[in-house]
Amino acid sequence: MRKKIVAGNWKMNLTLKQAIDLVEELKKNFHSGDKVEVVVAPSFPYLYPLREILKASAIELSAQNMHWETAGAFTGEVSAPMLLSVGIDRVILGHSERRQYFCEDAGLLAKKVKTAMDHEMQVIFCVGEVLEEREAGRHFDTVREQLEASLHALTPADWSRMTIAYEPVWAIGTGKTATPDQAQEMHRFIRQVVSGMAGEQTAEQIRILYGGSVKPSNAADLFSRPDVDGGLVGGASLKPEDFLAIIEAAL
């Protein structure tokens, strides 16, 4: 049985004090790491200090992004060796905001994924369609293309370190949420695509998260679907009481 993951993507939010207060509250109240995997993804400056706070807890840390090169003249960027040197071995790649605002296309993301896998990092890889694609009935084609274009070179060992997050772009930060049936339909489709790429066993083992306005009121219904293995949570992960309620829904 696949262990559920609840991951909080903090994006560009919180001061250091607010970040520390938040993880202290989570650390105090979450003790079920054997039942659900909990991950938080703060901004780069907070990764090391929060790692020191969380090192004895069941809560894991992830970076929100990283560069595809390991070093060089890339002002403002962060590399895989840098993350590993401060104890961070997980990264979110392909988030819709990176695709939209920073023009990250499939080729660039394939390079980032390869670098992460070369360094044996865990990856949460995001896919999802915009509203126009959903309304035009192209949502399955879009998600298939995103998966095949960036993950085609993965080895069996690479797939074991991969988690996929389905995030319908029209539901991110809008208050709209895919219905549980829509989420299940797409998650099942993603599993079928992975089966075609890497085999049925890998497809059954890979964890697929739902991201898009996950909140306490809808988490249990979403997580109850057989192919929904948890959530990539945005705004609700900034409120400890909401994030803890979402975690509870995954238990």
- Residues with active-site annotation: 95, 167
Torsion of CA 16, 21, 26, 31, to 10 degrees: 110
Encode 6-29: b = buried (16+ Cβ within 10 Å), e = exposed: bbbbbbeebeeeebbebbeebbee
Q: Is the Cβ–Cβ distance between 102 and 63 less than 8 Å?
A: no
C-alpha 104/C-alpha 12 separation (Å) is 18
